[in-house]
Structure 1
């Protein structure tokens, strides 16, 4: 077998990269699976139980660490339900802004409060996505303030 082509530095480098590509792809796939662990939570109020999934982010993990938690949700401008959190969340690595969709669970970092969107809203600076509901959120839309318990799902 003639291996003189390996004596050219550029060809040798390309060859080494091509040979290592499957290993790199396999390694990054494994890392993604480990990082992709998401936390399932439940919002419990009255006879209603709504499930949600928190993102695998610093803020999502820090919020999960607070649970179980009891909060009073109030309406804010006919777009979202808000509640004060007992402490600030870790927002390391969070983008500067976020455009919420219906069912998004977010943190409004400047005020340190939870914001649950039942209608889509504009891109807002300081808004950090924590996760989203897994299904219908209609039971959340009530006019009067109400208490909700948040727990890690079994």
Structure 2
């Protein structure tokens, strides 16, 4: 399944994985979130509710472009730099293009929508 992410007048798409956590995230769409920088590695945002962690791995090693859910905090994380293995990190999908749309000083407002 594909989603569209819109920031200002820019847009990108992402391919979502078929897992319970990803399906739970997509059930919240359309969704508007404020993404803020975290550790000069990722953009994060709180979600309106916790997502399912059914059948989720114990963690994952995120790469540039990964859309993830950090279960311990209940937040979304989009990685613009590779990072080491993190317990509780569940991959939801992958940005189809580069991460330039997310690069800015300060927070950005992003709208997430399902694509038909």
2:17 maps to which residue? 55
The partner residue of 2:34 within 39, 63, 72 is: 72
The partner residue of 2:51 within 78, 86, 89 is: 89
> Which stretches of structure 1, 4 residues or more, deviate above 3 A after TM superposition?
none
Higher share of residues assigned helix: 1
What is the deviation of 1:153? 1.5
Q: Which has the higher contact order (CA 8 A, sep 6+)?
A: 2
Instruction: Please say if 1:147 is aligned against 2:109.
Output: yes
TM-score by length of 1: 0.74
2:98 maps to which residue? 136
Larger Rg: 1
Higher share of residues assigned strand: 2
Gaps of 5+ in 1: 1-38
What is the deviation of 1:143? 1.4
What is the deviation of 1:44? 0.4
Whole-Å separation in 2 of the counterparts to 1:129 and 1:65: 16
Gaps of 5+ in 2: none
TM-score by length of 2: 0.97
Number of aligned positions between the proteins: 116
Please list, as runs of the form range in 1=range in 2, the aligned pairs for 1:7-86 lying within 5 A after superposition: 39-86=1-48
Q: CA RMSD in A?
A: 0.7
